[in-house]
Structure formats: C-alpha cells, structure tokens
Chain A
C-alpha cells in the first residue's frame, strides 16, 4: 500500500471523529502556537532593546556614580572631559515632575543637562532650539519638550514661546525634539529637558550621579573608558563607587537576559508539546482498542503487520502535523494580536516555525509508535471475534 493512500485513509479517519481529533490536536496546537508566539514576542523585545541601544550611538559611554558621600560636581566633570579619547560629556540629572499647560497635565521624566547632550544622544531639534550654555550659566527657566510630550500638552499648536508649569513654576518652552523612539521607559519622546543648573534647583540636588560621555570614534571607546576610569579613581578610591559602561556592555547584558527568557519560554512550550504528544498516544491507544475488529478484518484480507503499523503511525503523524500547522497559524495570529494590543515589536523567525512544526511531527510519530505496534500485534482471529 502506498503512502498517499495511507495518508488519505488517515485523513478520513480524523475527519470521521472531528471532535475527538480536535481535542487530541489541542495539546499540540497550544504547544506549537505558544512556542511561536512567545518566541516572536521574546525576539521582538530583544530586537527593540538592541535597536534602541544602537540608536544611542555606539560611541556612547554611560557613567553612574553610586557613592553618595563624596559628591561629583561640574568641576570633576570638566576633568573627565580632558581625558584621552573623550570628545564631549553631558551630565544627567533625572527626576519626575508634573508638567501643566492650562488644564492638561502630564507626569514625565525631567532631565537636567547641558547643550552637548543633544549630540551625544544623537537627538535632533524639530522646532526652536535645545538647551544652550547661556541658559546653563544664567539658570534660565526654559524647557525643551520631547515630541510626544509636546503633542500631549499642546496638541496641534506650536508650543514655542508658550509657558508650561513644572511643579507649579512657570517655564518657557524654547524647543521641541524630533521623535526618536526608545524602550525600557527611557524614551526621549516623552521627556522634558532643562538646563542642568535649573534642574538642580527643581530636583533639589547639587551633585551629579550620572553622566554621558562620547568617545571620539568607535575605536577609541575603550581608550576613553580607561581615561574616564582613571579620572574617577582620583576622586573615588573604591572602584565599586562608580561604573563605566559602553553600549556594547549594555547590549550584551540585555541580550543575555532576553536569551535566558527566550530559552525559558521555549522550555515551557516544549513541555506543553510533550504533554500534547502524550495526549495523542492516549487517544491512539483508545482508537486501537475501538478498532480492533477493523484491524482483524484488514489482517484477514491480507494486511501485513507493517501495513497496520503504518496506518496507525501515519494517523498519529497526520494528527500531530495538522495540529502543528494550526499551531503555527494561531501562534502567528497570537503574536500579531499582542503586537497590536500592546504595541510591542515582534519578530517571526522561519527556522523556529519550521522547528516547532517538525517537532510536533516527531512528537506524533514517537508517541504513535507504541499504539501502532500494539495494533500490529493483534491476533486476527481474536480481533475478528471482538464485537
């Protein structure tokens, strides 16, 4: 008997028992679709992290000062700027404040910084200008808005030369930034930027806990990092008091987190596939018992053990592959729905889909072997006697 006929026969048996076949496939469907959906979401989030990290520029060095006893000041920062390989530096003073225009208000992250921040973070100005060194010097109460924030507060109006209230005090809007996107809650689109000295007053701190530095080129990142560390070590004896990381480090840390997460998701999904396989075996065993008589008839008519074995094996494989196919479809759909609902990035990977589908087929065959073997071993005389 040829394979095509066997497959047709199997498809017919599956159609003849629609409800049961569907329930049997459900395990596989859930397994495969969860593999595909979860991995699409996992890879999507890792991609969006990578993208946002990359968009900051590969020359970017982030320095965090964790020692709060010895304060890091603007004077210290000037020394850092002199270090080898460092092109420019920008202090960052972050806080959260409520911005208000008329009756519209929005709680956003407020960053106090200097004019070099714009080029270091590779941001661009859409309207007006960014914070200048004069603003910095005279503690001007001016603010630059991220694009989303500008839309929230002013809708379609131009916010330039309008006043906003930040924690109750009036600030002049001098600029709006272009949209850049971002992730991990650090989007510059939904933030407000003040001169560093102004922000010191608003937030109530005098010292710097974080600053960005830009290396002269990608090649000199390591030089610059070493230079910065040397300057910092003059102020702080303990290297635990500060951290100097470049984008590469951040990316590696992030990707190790996301890959662990992805592996975990894949593991859970794999277990559900296994459970689905056991479901298939269970139903196939029931099916063998139910169809004992049919097996007897087929054997009497001349079916060899191989034929019977193949029939049940193909049925299990078709069942699981059908489930796998449905699972791929549902997985793609589920990830799409997630993307639409939450707005996250998703990445479909063809190799993963193929692997999940193949795995489902393998599961069907592996768990189909035992019932098929059992069926092929039936004694035709006893099988025929069964009612």
Chain B
C-alpha cells in the first residue's frame, strides 16, 4: 500500500497561561499516508492551529516523535526546519499571505528562490504552476489586482511550486464566499486526485466533508471522524 507520510506519536505541546498549564496538544498520535486527503476539524482553541504549526515545522513539540516523509524532525535545528519547510511542505493560508509588492508569478517562484534555483528555471516552473491553477494570464498582476479566489489560487500555485510532499491548508476557504470556496475545494480535490497529499484544517464541517478522511480535535486530543 501507500507509504506513511506523516507519523506523529505522543506529540505534546504545553503553554503557560499565568499559573495554568494549557495542553494545546495532549499526546497526539496521527498517521497520514501518502496521497491522503485528511481534514482536521475543531472549534477555535481546540489546538488545531498548534497541530498545523507542528506539522508545518513552524513549531517544535515539547515531547513525542514526529516523522515527515521519512525524516525525524522533532529535534531539528531552526535552519534545518527552514530547509524542510522549503522542500517538503507547501502552505496555504486562510488570508492567502501573498507578498503585496510582488506579482503573482514572483510570489509563486519564492520557494524556489530560497532553494537557489536559477532565475530561468524558476520562472518557467512558476508559470507552469500558475497554469495548473488556471491563472497563467494573470502572472504579472499584483495580488491587489486579483479577486480573493484568484489570490488563493496563486497561493496554491506557490505551495505547489516547490513540489512539496505535503500541502498544508489552514482554513483555505475561510476568507472566501461559498461559490469561490467550492472552486478552491474542487481544485484541492483535483490536486489530491493527481496524487498529492493534502492536510486541510478547518472549523467548517461542510468543507471538511470534501476530504476523504476527517479527524476532529478537541482540547488537544484527536478523534477519528466528525465529533463536534
């Protein structure tokens, strides 16, 4: 069968809020296979953002083990984590997080920029990704000249540009109307059908149901299926 992409075992993360200790992640065990489309649902404060940061190597766990695409990353240094983010992960954010001063294609080629890819190859690859999301004609537009849905598609193209092993989407439809949301979800589904592993984090059950597998999180604990 397919290989394991993400393997988390007994992942812990605690925060101190005054005298209280908050268990943002309380011994999380999670396995995601290659080619999966998993949605993680939970209300705000459930720890889903922390989990997302952890998966995305933006944060380090206090305890437990985390393997991503075969490499152990729970005890890596900052610079190695940056490398992993660059090569293995494609982020898609709720508010797109495009750089306003760069054109669409420049935004898309950014992951390759930090990888040291030559300008020509970079541009070609970025245009390819824009084509994939159907925005090749908007390549030279600035983000504020694009609609929300188009911006999110540029962001998806950017996530794809680095050919990551996993796409992490944090409320990708949170800032979009329902029609555009549907388009974005269709795009993600298409991407998944072509073999990409996608982890989707949302509080919206309707969105979560589009995924093949749903995991819910509450008070830092995971449960298979929808339990909200």
Complex interface residues of chain A between 294 and 338 (CB less than 8 A to chain B): 294, 296-307
A234 — which chain B residues lie within 8 A by C-beta? Answer: none
Q: Is the CB of A1 within 8 A of B85?
A: no
Known contacts A2-B116, A12-B101: A301-B78 contact under CB 8 Å:
no
Complex interface residues of chain B between 93 and 111 (CB less than 8 A to chain A): 93, 97-99, 101, 110-111
A305 — which chain B residues lie within 8 A by C-beta? Answer: 78-79, 82
A307 — which chain B residues lie within 8 A by C-beta? Answer: 114
A264 — which chain B residues lie within 8 A by C-beta? Answer: none
Known contacts A297-B99, A302-B111: A381-B83 contact under CB 8 Å:
no
Q: Is the CB of B110 within 8 A of A301?
A: yes
Q: How large is the interface on B (under 10, 10 to 19, 20 to 34, 35 or more residues)?
A: 20 to 34
Sort A-B residue pairs by CB-CB distance and give the 3 closest, nearest first. Answer: A302-B86, A304-B82, A302-B114
Q: Tell me, yes or no, whether A13 is within 8 Å of chain B by CB.
A: yes
Q: Is the CB of B158 within 8 A of A381?
A: no
Q: Tell me, yes or no, whether A268 is within 8 Å of chain B by CB.
A: no
Q: Is the CB of A304 within 8 A of B119?
A: no
29 A-B pairs in the complex with CB atoms less than 8 angstroms apart: A1-B113, A1-B116, A2-B116, A12-B101, A297-B97, A297-B98, A297-B99, A299-B58, A299-B85, A300-B58, A300-B91, A300-B97, A301-B85, A301-B114, A301-B158, A302-B82, A302-B111, A303-B82, A303-B86, A304-B79, A305-B78, A306-B79, A307-B114, A380-B58, A381-B53, A381-B59, A384-B58, A384-B93, A384-B97
Q: Mark A166-200, 1 if CB is under 8 A from B, else 0.
A: 00000000000000000000000000000000000
Which single member of B83, B114, B158, B162 contacts A1 (CB below 8 Å)?
B114
Q: Tell me, yes or no, whether B115 is within 8 Å of chain A by CB.
A: yes
Cβ of A290 to closest chain B Cβ, rounded Å: 12
Q: Is the CB of A5 within 8 A of B82?
A: no
B10 — which chain A residues lie within 8 A by C-beta? Answer: none
Q: Tell me, yes or no, whether B221 is within 8 Å of chain A by CB.
A: no
Which single member of B98, B101, B111, B114 contacts A304 (CB below 8 Å)?
B114
Q: Is the CB of A302 within 8 A of B116?
A: no
B42 — which chain A residues lie within 8 A by C-beta? Answer: none
Cβ of B195 to closest chain A Cβ, rounded Å: 22
Q: Is the CB of A302 within 8 A of B97?
A: no
Known contacts A1-B113, A16-B101: A301-B58 contact under CB 8 Å:
no
Which single member of A5, A13, A294, A304 contacts B113 (CB below 8 Å)?
A5
Complex interface residues of chain A between 207 and 228 (CB less than 8 A to chain B): none
Q: Is the CB of A301 within 8 A of B91?
A: yes
B53 — which chain A residues lie within 8 A by C-beta? Answer: 381
Q: How far is the CA of A381 from the CA of B115 in the complex (A)?
A: 21
B83 — which chain A residues lie within 8 A by C-beta? Answer: 302, 304
A304 — which chain B residues lie within 8 A by C-beta? Answer: 78-79, 82-83, 114
> Which residue of chain B has its CB nearest to the CB of A6?
B113
Complex interface residues of chain B between 50 and 82 (CB less than 8 A to chain A): 53, 56, 58-59, 78-79, 82
Residues of chain B whose beta carbon lies under 8 Å from any beta carbon of chain A: 53, 56, 58-59, 78-79, 82-83, 85-87, 91, 93, 97-99, 101, 110-111, 113-116, 119, 158, 162
Which residue, of A302, A304, A307, has the highest number of chain B Cβ atoms within 10 A? A302
Q: Is the CB of A300 within 8 A of B79?
A: no
Q: Is the CB of A303 within 8 A of B99?
A: no
Q: How far is the CA of A294 from the CA of B99 in the complex (A)?
A: 7
B79 — which chain A residues lie within 8 A by C-beta? Answer: 304-306
> Which residue of chain A has its CB nearest to the CB of B155?
A297
Q: How far is the CA of A175 from the CA of B111 in the complex (A)?
A: 86
> Which residue of chain A has its CB nearest to the CB of B111?
A301
> Which residue of chain A has its CB nearest to the CB of B93?
A384
Cβ of B218 to closest chain A Cβ, rounded Å: 21
Q: Is the CB of A381 within 8 A of B114?
A: no
B59 — which chain A residues lie within 8 A by C-beta? Answer: 381
Q: How far is the CA of A380 from the CA of B82 in the complex (A)?
A: 10
Which single member of A294, A300, A384 contacts B85 (CB below 8 Å)?
A300
Cβ of B40 to closest chain A Cβ, rounded Å: 17
B158 — which chain A residues lie within 8 A by C-beta? Answer: 301
Known: A298-B99, A299-B82, A300-B56. 19 other contacts (CB 8 A): A1-B113, A1-B114, A2-B116, A5-B119, A12-B101, A297-B97, A297-B98, A300-B85, A301-B110, A301-B111, A301-B114, A302-B87, A302-B114, A304-B83, A304-B114, A305-B82, A306-B79, A380-B58, A384-B97
